[in-house]
Every structure is written in structure tokens, then in C-alpha cells.
Amino acid sequence: MVSIVLLGMQGSGKGTQAQLLAKKYQIQHISTGDIFRDNIKNKTILGQKVEAFLKKGELVPDALTIAIIEDTLKKCEKGFILDGFPRNLEQTKALDTVAAIDLAINLQITDKEAIKRLSGRRTCSQCNAVFHIETNPPKKKDVCDKCNGRLIQRDDDKEDAIKNRIAIYKTNIQPILDYYIEKDVLFTVDATKRIDYVFEEMCDVIDALG
Ligand code: AMP
């Protein structure tokens, strides 16, 4: 049972790597972004509450986000990998009260690379699979290879929202990194490298946990 937090700027590959890790270690992939997007798609009360924040690329209020994570972790009976949570110090401290984190992995990339990756990203409207128009195009334009769903550009992958999300990330990340350095669980990876290389590097660290 391993409990992992994935940190990194939008576009650093958190979602992709989290899916790979969840499969290999048979742990639960918990993405707050996916939870919110699914709720918006299904027009739930939660979805209605959070839709405007996601559209603008702003953070959903802590009280709401923390309550969702607490609830999700309570139901989680195996290890987990958190993708997109925590996003600020408040959330980091709250997480500590519900789960002990074995490893916080920081996927590091530059702003320029993040903008390039996000603006070309296309996401499946049905299964959340992620493609890139240049580096990982679908076989058929705008159609998901996995489920034939329609590929869309997320509202928050449009230029103004991307800039907003990166600015928020930069304001909030250092205290989170400091917190995990203090706990001696932080590991940083160069996420500009190939997906399989980054994945292997993370697996080595997880395997070393014993
Ligand atoms: P992501 O898919 O992780 O980039 O998240 C997409 C959007 O969901 C973010 O821009 C926020 O609006 C919202 N969101 C996701 N995770 C959090 C979080 N931990 N705290 C607040 N808002 C979040």
C-alpha cells in the first residue's frame, strides 16, 4: 500500500504518469480535475458549483475540494496516487490529517514547454484519455483511439486560462515543496524527458520504498 502525491505544473504529465503508476502498482488514481469535470458533464450539484472556476482556470475553494478528497480517501481501500491535489499549503496540511504520504513526486518542466503541451492537448469527452495534436495525435482526427469518443480542447487549455493556471501554480507550489522536503518525502524528476523514461525513474524510487 503506497500513498503518492504527484506535483507539477499543468502539462507536466501528471495525468499520464498517474494512470501508468496506478496500473503498475494497482493503486487508485485520484484526480480532482477529473472528478470536477465528470460532475460538470453529469450536471450534478457539485458540477454546477465548480463549473465557473474550471472555465477560468481558477482554483475551486479549499473547503469544497478538501471535503471531496477526504470523502474519496475514506472510501479508498488500497494505495493511491493523487493527481492535482494538493494545490496549496492549506490543502497539503489538510491531506496530512487524513493520510500519511509516502512519496511526493515533483514533475518539473519549464513554462514554455507547459504552454506548448497544453495548447496542443486534446482530451476525450467520454473517457478522459489525453492526446496531443503534434506529439501524440489520435489515429483519426478528433476521435479517441480508445473509445471512439469525441476529442475536445478543454476550456482551461485555451490560452488565457493556461496563463492563469500557470501563474496560480507558481504562486502556490514552493510552500508545498518545502512542506514535503521537511517531511523528507520529496523526489524531483525532469519531466521534459520521454514518458517512459520519467515513468521508469519514478518506479525506481517507489520500488526503493520497500
Ligand atoms: P487539472 O485537471 O488538475 O488541471 O484541474 C483542472 C481544474 O480543476 C483546475 O484548474 C481547478 O479549477 C480545478 N481543480 C483541480 N484540482 C484542484 C484542487 N486541488 N484545488 C482547487 N481546484 C482544483
Q: What is the pLDDT of residue 71?
A: 94
* 46: its cell numbers: 457539485
65 lines ligand 1 (CB under 6 A): yes
Q: What is the pLDDT of residue 133?
A: 93
Out of 37, 117, 122, 165, the active site residue is: 165
Q: What is the pLDDT of residue 158?
A: 87
Q: What's the CA-to-centroid distance between 45 and ligand 1, angstroms?
A: 17
Query: What confidence tens digit (pLDDT) does each residue in 78-137 have?
Result: 999 999 999 999 999 999 999 999 999 999 999 889 998 899 999 999 988 889 998 889
What's the whole-model pTM score? 0.89
Q: What is the pLDDT of residue 202?
A: 98
Out of 37, 87, 117, 122, the active site residue is: 87
Q: What is the pLDDT of residue 160?
A: 84
The angle subtended at Cα 98 by Cα 95 and Cα 99, nearest 5°, is 80
The answer to whether residues 135 and 192 touch, using CB atoms and an 8 Å cutoff, is no
Phi, psi for residue 26 in degrees, rounded to 5 = 55, 50
Q: What is the pLDDT of residue 159?
A: 84
The rounded distance, in Å, linking the Cα atoms of 168 and 3 is: 25
Residue 87 exposed, middle or buried by CB count within 10 Å (0-12, 13-18, 19+) = buried
Q: What is the pLDDT of residue 130?
A: 87
In this structure, the residue with its CA closest to atom 10 of ligand 1 is 57
pLDDT-flagged residues of the chain (< 70) = none
Question: Of ligand 1's atoms, which has the minimum distance to the CA of residue 86?
Answer: 19
